[in-house]
Structure 1
Amino acid sequence: MRLYRSTINPIRTTKVDWLVDEHVAEVADDGPRALITAVASAAKRNKYQLLAWVVICTGLATFNALTIPPSYTATASLVLEPRALNAGPTSVNPAAMSLDANQAETELQVIKSERLLTYVFESQNLGKHSDFAFQSPSMFSRMRGYIQAALSNEPTRPPTAEESRQIAFANFAARVDVRRIGQSYVVDVSFTSSDRELAPRVANAIASAYLWQSLASKTDKARNGAEFVQGRLNALSAQVSAAAAAVAAGTLPTTAVPDADSRVIGAAVQPLGPSAPRRGLIIALGAIIGLTTGFIILIVSQVFDRRIRTREVLIHATGLPCLAIVPEVRRWKGVSRLSEKDMCSLVSLRPEGEFAAAIRDIRTSIMLARSSRQGHGNDVVALVSWTRDAGCTLICANLAHIVRESGAKVTIVDADIRQKGWSLADQSPQAAISAPLTLADALTSDTPVNESDLLEFEGIALLPGRSSSSRINQLAYLSTPKMAQIFDMARNRSEVLLDLPPLCVGADARAAAQYADVVVLVAAAGRTTRDELAAAVQTLKSAGANVIGAVLNRAGA
């Protein structure tokens, strides 16, 4: 613990010392932990928005998973056989058989070659199949095409028959997958299609086409070789015919093909269920993406968010102690709505509520500040904020009720002479009968202000701020000697609460703050920024105001 001394230069000879926990003051600079804490607080504060975002992302993922057409994958398995290094009519020495890893990888590329796949594509007559045929472009694709055509100055046209065939073949080849199983010589040939019956047919056709291609090559060698044997040629021709028929039928050869460089060890069968989409995974991924992006948005917004939300940030931004955290007051309760009069006397309507407890904390803090000063006369306590929506008038009116209920007299001086609309004077029945004397009237005339000129509502005396004449309001200046006389009169009769105008609208608050014994800075949680508070402290400091602390109002809004 250490003694914290206000950095504001007071006009009084006595400063107020406050006990501030060093740990609390340093929380805002605690590196990553501070960011994590801030993000956790932001997530708690925006839990319904975060939950709604996750639900939206999950719903979109569910919709996407349910609307994607199912696809089926069938797989045929081949085992590569060693090739004879010196093929001939005589028996082959096993030592002359060879198949290394590089040769296996080469065979994978042979299976995926355009020549082999084209043979299967044409044998199965897949050019007109809906899975591969040219589809009309979507609206976005058409728009992109129009933009590209406009930029390139080339007219758009539908694809020709040959281009359509090439597009269909490219779509077909993209669905073929050939992979080697580990370091073995087993090769899986897979094909994916939205047609459950087409998938195994094409996978088997590709396997048979590979056998056919191997046999056709050996047949050509036997036909052109010096050691021509008619029986050997007939056997190879029969195997080639069987492989070609299998390719056309989308099955495996019905007869043995021992001369091929591979053999089929597993035929592709019709899949029992779709291989894609994996709906559960898509939905889970959508929820994860929603949660992740939601937190990313929270982190980014928290990094760039300069608004004051917590006691620690308020202390760090102002260098002042936090006197109280005043909760947000909900004006609607069911179908009933609290009036302005009810809001100004909320501590009396709900004396056991959190709002009343926070106002009592402010009163206690002010009393502690008074106890450290010499003299025990009545004081002028000013409340000021940077913007008008901080709730300064609400706190001032309820603080007056707390002081009155403790048995002391209290006078409110409304110094916001520029504000239009509702004011505290509207709470007094006297104001409805005749135009009262206002602070603006008193400052622009030589007429002294007497106690009888004050309005009264619910036992609280009030000097209204704004005159009925707009010209008088424009001419009134809060730093005239008449201002000191008014405060002397009010201080002689009671405690004085000074409701200052916002600091951002002009120099009125700065001029009037120097007449206050203590000044309390009011910030609206989630509205007032750090920069605004820093500017407010600097403005009050330049005026010599004795700022004893800050209040975080509308917390939890």
Structure 2
Amino acid sequence: MVVQEIRKLTGTEMASKDNGRHEDYISFRDIWAFLQRHFLVLALASTAGVALGALYIANTEPTYTSIARIVIDREQARIASQDASTGTIIIETAEIASEVEIVKSEAIARSVIKQLNLTEDPEIQTSSSWRSAVRGALGAILSLFDPATEDGAEAAGEPSEEEVMRRTMAGFLGRVSVRRVGQSYVLEIGYTSTNPVKAARAANAIANTYMQSSLDAKSQIIARGAQWIEDRLVEIGRQAQEAALSAEQYRNSNDISQVGSAGIDQQQLSEISSQLLAAQTATAGEAARLATINRILAGDLPDSYVGEALSNTEINRLRADLGVARKRLETLQTRYGTESEPTLAAKSEIARLESQINTELVRIQGVYRSNLDTAQAREGLLKKQLDAIKGNVTEKNLARVQLTELESRATTYRRMYESVLQQLITTLQKQSFPIGDARMVAAATPPLAKIWPKTTLIIPMALMLGFAGGLGLAGLRDLLDRRISSGERLSRELGLPTLGHVPFTRFQVSGSKGALRFVLDAPYSGFSEALRGVKSSIDAAFPSGGPIVVGLTSVSGDEGKSTIAANLGQLYANEGLRVVLVDANFRNPFLSLQAANSGTKAGLAVYQGDEIPEHAQSEKRKKDKLMQMEDGLILPVLTVEQIRKAAHPGHRFGHLPALKKKIEELRQDYDVIIVDLSTFATSADTRAASAHLDGILLVLGNRRKMTVEWLASALATFGKSRVGILGVVFNKRKTRRWLHPMGRKRREAGGRHAI
């Protein structure tokens, strides 16, 4: 049981208070519930979108587009855009894009308009964009208030020919489309019109006009180019002649008979330089050998490092004898000792051989010194010859360099002259027979199918736009709708738990005793299942073993709280508990009237506890319990009149203390006491009586007509009272049959009733 201090809180404050404990998230179930809740709005919006699309298709005049294809000929482009030296074709994407813009240019459009006489075409003249329509409407409105505008319009008269042409050109270019096909050199030229034949004729005219204008432009360019090349050829010829004369005059003035003599001098100079380099290399080699042999004789290096020593037969023989003598010395020292005569003789032999090797190395040293002197002498001689040749050639070399520069200049001018002459010949050939860069691939033909309006595109798009609009309206409706549409919103914004949802029921069960005991007549219906769930929630809120007093109230009338109170009592009585109903609705005593008028037909009976003496009341309660079990659970009802009779006759509002006293008396004799209260929004009796109850059930039967703010304001009428609110029961909930797969079986088991 939730005990709350109810005060005047707005829905926004309660929502902000509860947001600290819960995090909002959207699941697929929420989306599906949203679509079901706004199914009608979405269906109507989608239908409206499809209807508007169909209306647009029906009222829109069909248009056709005819396409002509032309190709920029690569072979002709090779002639026009080929590099002269490498032969590379220079055609880039920018050039193709330039051709596309040329096709859509005003010059082509003007020529086609004149050719087809489109200035009198009503299709182009009467069509206008929304901007021109707005400007025209504004101009018409302003003309009504400005008399000078009318005078100016009369003075202006008919539009000029140029104005008509400009207006026609704007409408014509709006119907032309040009695009490149992929990465190829093919251009598609399209024209849109309501007449397919006119569209094909205009597309072909644009293509032919473009090709003719390209050919004319090329002819003019070639003519201007030929004239420029001819003038340039004369200038280059004159410069080439002057350069050749300057070279000859310089050769004669410097006594240079032929260019070949300079080559001979250079060859001699090169040969002597090579010989000098070789002599310097030989000198360095001999000096290195001499230095090495000197180190060997000084004892710094072994004689095996000298190549001459290695290839000398005498030295090799002496080395072999020296090796044999050393081995014999080792043997003799081992056998006879180091001071024996054979050992001393062997040592003398070794000394003699080493002396002979040293003598041979001295001889080789002399040879190396002689070779070094020869190399140095040869190197000095070559240096003298090189200096002599340099002195003779230096003066002529300077003259030859200047002459070479003059001859190179003359040769360059001569080649330029030949190249320009060749270009002039090629240009004159093109001028005599010009070839365009573009040619027709496929001429335009009248199209068989319209391009607009497309039914397969407009209808789905209209359906999607309508559905999107419906979603927007539904979302706006949910955003602005503050009605209590679900228990989740009630729990989130006001903190009230939801105990159950009782479905809408017509109570048309054959043979039943009325709606006040429908829970027993149709035990497997949705109504009964919902009330059983509410009963379980009530039981869980109270400890077992003691009597419970539960009150039922609502915000306004006709929300079904009395019906729910009676059926809840039937459920408790069906479990063998002692149950009594207390009608505390002093303004509209529905249960009292039913108990007094219908009696057992409604499953109710007027409470008789006050008319029986105290000593016989226990026997009467036993008989009441036996009657409930035998006669289909007849519930006693403490009526409004009985409460008022128990009140003090001098008190105006004495029924409230009497109600409190009766409830205290009933606690001694009954297990469950269900009190049917008045609507708390308009009655102070409910707020006063709620303090004597263990808990209150709030029944909401018209939740779609009730906002969160209204319910919060109604609950605030309790003031600072501490009220045990068990929860909220949603009554008269309309459910769809496809949401309840067990609904059919429940209806069959419970009888004929509508949910």
With the shorter chain as reference, the TM-score category is: 0.5 to 0.7
Which of 687, 697, 702 lines up with 1:510 in the alignment? Answer: 687
Question: For residues 552 and 457 of structure 2, what CA distance do their matches in structure 1 show?
Answer: 57
Matches within 5 A, 1:94-133: 94-95=82-83, 99-133=91-125
**1:85-234 counterparts in 2 under 5 A?**
94-95=82-83, 99-134=91-126, 145=137, 149=141, 153=145, 161=159, 166-218=166-218
Which residue of structure 2 aligns with residue 53 of structure 1?
A: 45
Rounded Cα–Cα distance in structure 2 between residues aligned with 1:152 and 1:124: 38
Segment of structure 1 superposing worse, 107-116 or 317-326: 317-326
Counterpart residue number, 2:726: 548
Match of 1:251 in 2: none
Could you tell me whether the CA contact under 8 Å between 1:175 and 1:192 is conserved in 2?
A: yes
Q: CA deviation at 1:179?
A: 1.7
Pick aligned residue for 2:524 from 352, 355, 361: 352
TM-superposed deviation, 1:489: 5.8
Output one character per residue of 1:121-178: Cα deviation in whole Å (capped at 9) or x when no partner: 232122333432225999xx69992698269955898995556765443222111011
Matched residue type, 2:679:
P
Deviation, 1:191, is: 0.8
Instruction: Name the structure 1 match of 2:30.
Output: 38
- Unmatched 5+ stretches in structure 2: 7-17, 231-426, 599-608, 613-632, 644-650, 736-755
Q: 1:412 is matched with which residue: 578, 582, 589?
A: 582
CA distance in 2, matches of 1:28, 1:299: 25
Whether the aligned pair in 2 keeps the contact of 1:81 and 1:99 (CA below 8 Å) is: no
Residues 398 and 114 of structure 1, relative CA distance in 2, 3 Å threshold: same
2:459 alignment partner AA: I
In structure 1, the partner of 2:676 is: 499
Question: Cα offset for 1:37?
Answer: 3.3
2:387 is matched with which residue?
Answer: none
Contact 1:385–1:536 (Cα < 8 Å) also in 2: no
Q: CA deviation at 1:413?
A: 1.5
For 1:129, the aligned partner's letter is D
Query: Structure 1 residues 265 and 27, CA, compared in 2 at 3 Å: closer, same or farther?
Result: farther
Contact 2:175/2:192 (8 A) holds in 1: yes
Query: Equivalents in 2 of 1:194, 1:485: separation in Å?
Result: 92
Q: CA deviation at 1:491?
A: 5.4
- How does 1:429-444 map onto structure 2 within 5 Å? 430=597
Percent of aligned pairs with the same amino acid: 26
Instruction: Give the aligned partner of residue 80 of structure 1.
Output: 72
1:446 alignment partner in structure 2: none
Q: What is the TM-score when the length of structure 2 is the normalising length?
A: 0.52
Higher helix proportion: 2
- 8 A Cα contact 1:322 1:549, kept in partner: yes
> Could you say if the C-alpha distance between residues 403 and 118 of structure 1 is closer, same or farther in structure 2, counting changes exceeding 3 Å?
same
SS in 1 for 2:4: coil
Q: Given the alignment of the two structures, is residue 392 of structure 1 paired with residue 561 of structure 2, yes or no?
A: yes
Residue by residue over 1:84-140, the C-alpha shift from the partner in whole angstroms, topping out at 9 and shown as x without a partner, is 99xxxxx989536865443332222221112221221232122333432225999xx
The separation in 2 between residues aligned to 1:93 and 1:188, in whole angstroms, is 23
After TM superposition, give the deviation of residue 528 of structure 1 in Å.
4.5
* CA-atom RMSD in angstroms: 4.9
Match of 1:381 in 2: 550
Distance 1:222-1:551 versus aligned 2 partners, 3 A rule: closer
Cα 1:137–1:79 change in 2 (3 A) is closer
Q: In the alignment, what sits opposite 1:434? A: none
What is the alpha-carbon distance in structure 2 between the residues aligned to residue 39 and residue 393 of structure 1?
A: 35
State the 1:55 CA deviation. 3.5
Conserved? CA contact 1:39–1:299, under 8 Å: no
CA distance in 1, matches of 2:639, 2:692: 16
Q: 1:427 & 1:148 partners in 2: Cα distance?
A: 76
- SS of residue in 1 equivalent to 2:524: coil
C-alpha change, 1:171 and 1:416, in structure 2 (3 Å) is farther
After superposition, the Cα gap between the structure-2 partners of 1:410 and 1:54, relative to the gap in structure 1 and judged at 3 Å, is same
Residue 264 (structure 1) aligned to one of 419, 422, 440:
440
Alignment check: 8 A CA contact 1:478 1:511 kept: no
Residue 394 of structure 1 aligns to which amino acid in structure 2? T
Cα deviation, residue 8, structure 1: 2.5
Residues 269-317 of structure 1: per-residue CA shift (max 9 Å, x gap): 2222222222112222223333333344444444454444445444444
Which 10-residue stretch deviates more, 355-364 or 211-220? 211-220
Query: 1:171 aligns to what SS in structure 2?
Result: helix
Which of 4, 24, 30 in structure 2 is aligned with 1:8? 4
Which amino acid is 1:497 matched to? I
For normalisation by structure 1, the TM-score amounts to: 0.68
Contact 2:219 2:434 survives alignment (8 Å): no
1:68–1:9 CA distance, 2 compared to 1 (3 A)? closer
Check 1:118–1:522 CA distance in 2 against 1; reply closer, same or farther (3 A cut): same
User: Given that residues 2 and 725 in structure 2 are in contact (C-alpha distance below 8 angstroms), is that contact kept between their aligned partners in structure 1?
Assistant: yes
Q: Which moved more, 1:41-50 or 1:269-278?
A: 41-50
Q: In the alignment, is the contact (CA less than 8 A) between 2:566 and 2:581 conserved in 1?
A: no
Deviations 1:317-357 (A, max 9, x none): 454543322112257x7xx99x9x95444435533311122
Number of aligned residue pairs: give it.
470
Give, in whole Å, the separation in 2 of the partners of 1:479 and 1:317: 36
The verdict on how the C-alpha distance between 1:476 and 1:33 changes in structure 2, with shifts beyond 3 A counting, is: farther
Q: 1: CA distance between counterparts of 2:50 and 2:146?
A: 42
Provide the residue aligned with 1:366 in structure 2. Answer: 538
Any conservation in 1 of the 2:53–2:458 contact (CA below 8 Å)?
Answer: yes
Shift of 1:380: 3.2
What are the superposed Cα offsets for residues 471-504 of structure 1, whole Å, 9 maximum, x if unpaired? xxxx975995344235446656765433333343
Equivalent in the alignment of 1:443? none
- Whole-Å Cα distance in 2 between the matches of residues 509 and 313 of structure 1? 25
**Aligned partners of 1:476, 1:488: CA distance in 2, in Å?**
22
Distance 1:290 1:484, change over 3 A: same
8 Å CA contact retained: 1:322, 1:551:
yes
Distance in 2 separating the partners of 1:319 and 1:478:
35
The amino acid that maps onto 1:351 is: P
CA apart distance, 1:218: 4.8
Q: Which has the higher strand share?
A: 1
- Report what 2:399 is aligned to: none
Distance in 2 (alpha carbons) for counterparts of 1:428 and 1:547: 28
Task: After superposition, give the CA deviation of every residue in 1:225-251 in whole Å (9 maximum; x if it has no partner).
Answer: 9869xxx99x999xxxxxxxxxxxxxx
Residue pair 1:66, 1:279 contacting (<8 A) in 2 also: no
The residue aligned with 1:322 is: 498
Tell me how far apart the structure 2 counterparts of residues 537 and 318 of structure 1 sit (CA, whole Å).
10
Mapped to 2, the partners of 1:284 and 1:176 lie a distance apart of 28
CA distance in 2, matches of 1:150, 1:522: 64
State whether residues 656 and 685 of structure 2, in contact with CA within 8 Å, keep that contact through their aligned partners in structure 1: no
Matched, 1:276 2:452: yes
Matched-pair contact (CA < 8 Å) for 1:65–1:279? yes
8 Å contact kept, 2:695–2:723: yes
State how far apart, in whole Å, the 2-side matches of 1:504 and 1:153 are: 61
Partner Cα distance (1:28, 1:57) in 2: 42
Structure number with bigger Rg: 2
Query: 1:424: how far off?
Result: 4.7
User: Is the alpha carbon distance of 1:98 and 1:153 closer, same or farther for their aligned partners in structure 2, counting shifts above 3 Å?
Assistant: farther
Alpha carbons 1:325, 1:358 under 8 Å: kept: yes
Q: 1:105 to 1:376 in 2, by over 3 A?
A: closer
AA partner of residue 415 (structure 1):
N
Equivalent-residue separation in structure 2 for 1:523 and 1:349 (angstroms): 24
Tell me which amino acid in the other structure corresponds to 2:462: G
Aligned 8 A contact 1:28 1:313 in 2: no
Separation (CA, whole Å) in 1 of partners of 2:538 and 2:594: 26
In the TM superposition, 1:501-540 aligns within 5 A as 501-505=678-682, 507-524=684-701, 526-532=704-710
